[in-house]
A and B are shown apart, each in its own frame.
Chain A
């Protein structure tokens, strides 16, 4: 887990889990059917993250406002540590995210990825494409009026 590649992969799945729809994530996790023994290193807690923007979109940072985030950390029986950082205030979602983060570092990664992460990524992409398609349909096509005289 110390190579650059694996950090990039881990960033990818943690990001996916953070933004996932809770109901869908819970359903996929239950269907996966594995619930490993674990102990919390940090019990789930809800908190705030101050979101920053940039002046004029490219300048110096400023504080825009906070958002809710829930986090937790746990370790599996074999000592693998998982972290969950998810949007919103759901402790259940943070716990599932941390368990998946831990299991993704074990031999279960491939099966878990196929069962949970791939469908989540597809759902996210489908939602994005659907909105982008509707936006594209509202793009203005200008035409020039031809004047009567020569």
Chain B
């Protein structure tokens, strides 16, 4: 039950003033600039852009600073800001086959054309704390080699050439947009992918892990993982042609999964897809696994009752802003609700006590 209450204005104002002071921390320590956050905490910036569903590194850095490094709070700030922006339009679908890759690896083909390019990865580090970073160390320049001029072809394109993997139906159908219409079920793959890419990384990771542990296992190989920049093109109505309005960094993961074949289709591999803003490797692999698990019906697989196969369960619980809003609202004043429950419990106890007393006196009388 909600009732209007007054009071607390002074306490709230003072709490916010203290919050600002705590956010700043010890004033003997230099203040963080947005450029420092953007450049040196770039993976946090990427996560806020992906789950805030707005690509703008400067704004994400500001949100992280304002949220004192609480990334879900930062994502909340970005989501709120996003709603104030007029929508200029939709881009043409980005062509990830034309990506300028910083990193590109395949777990399925050692000699993939374009090669195994590791890029700036944490893989193969020893995960030992580097105390040199605690001091202000100069960083030596990274080695260079002859750059690749051509675009790097997709691994799935080779498999497709052999017809050994399912083909993605080519279409220009207008996809549903969950920022415009509320999500309904079944949501369809387009809306599922939109929902997964902005979903909570921890949740998507947990769901993906559950499929690996046997809850609707789908035997995924990382056919390809690539990170790099792609141009974003948009039709400009007043010009009558499309221009590149931006360049964005993306992480793409294509999984190659098993499939038995059916009466209509010869045995062939199936695919899962992950595409995420920024350098977001764990998230994009997890997204591809969950995408694949959610495709069980379309691929004629059995519903094993696994959580990762349940579209409504996955999509309804993957949004950390919806989840946090509902979860955290229970800490806000519920005085009247609680008062009525308190009254009820007291009454029940009174009645129970009276009953016990009556029974006891009856026993004595007998």
- Where the two chains meet, the residues of A that have a C-beta atom closer than 8 Å to any C-beta of B are 7, 10-11, 14-15, 18-19, 45-69, 71, 73, 83, 85-89, 128-140, 142
Contact = CB atoms under 8 A, between A and B. Distances in A.
Contact of B54 (A54, A56, A66, A140): A66
Contacts of B156: 56-58
Contacts of B281: none
Given A47-B86, A49-B234, A51-B91, A56 B245 contact: no
Contacts of B65: none
B55 A51 contact: yes
Contacts of A85: 234, 236, 243, 245
Contact of A61 (B110, B117, B173, B198): B173
Given A53-B94, A83-B238, A142 B277 contact: no
A33 B198 CA distance: 45
Contacts of B277: 64-65
Interface in B163-208: 168-179, 189-191, 193-194, 197-198
Given A51-B55, A60-B169, A69 B88 contact: yes
B171 A59 contact: yes
A62 B190 contact: yes
Interface stretch (B130-138, B145-153, B320-328, B333-341): B145-153
Nearest to A138: B118
Interface in B112-164: 115-121, 142-148, 154, 156-157
Given A57-B273, A85-B243, A131 B100 contact: yes
Contact of B190 (A61, A128, A132): A61
* A14, A15, A67, A142 interface centre (most CB from chain B within 10 Å): A67
B119 A88 contact: no
B146 A136 contact: yes
Given A49-B245, A67-B246, A128 B92 contact: no
A46 B85 CA distance: 7
B90 A56 contact: no
B171 A60 contact: yes
Interface of B: 49-50, 53-56, 58-59, 82, 85-94, 96-97, 100-103, 110-111, 115-121, 142-148, 154, 156-157, 168-179, 189-191, 193-194, 197-198, 231-232, 234, 236, 238-248, 250, 252, 254, 271, 273, 275, 277
Contacts of A130: 144
The 10 closest A-B pairs by CB, nearest first: A59-B168, A132-B147, A15-B244, A87-B246, A67-B55, A133-B144, A56-B168, A48-B85, A136-B145, A62-B190
Nearest to A41: B238
B241 A142 contact: no
Given A46-B85, A85-B236, A62 B194 contact: yes
A135 B91 contact: no
Nearest to B177: A63
Contacts of B142: 134, 137
Contacts of A18: 243-246
17 contacts: A14-B243, A15-B244, A19-B247, A46-B85, A48-B86, A54-B168, A57-B96, A57-B97, A57-B168, A59-B170, A60-B175, A65-B198, A66-B55, A69-B246, A134-B102, A134-B120, A138-B117
Contacts of A129: 147
A133 B54 contact: no
Nearest to A133: B144
Nearest to A4: B241
A140 B90 contact: no
A131 B174 CA distance: 35
Counting chain A CB atoms within 10 Å of each CB, the highest count among B177, B193, B246 belongs to B246
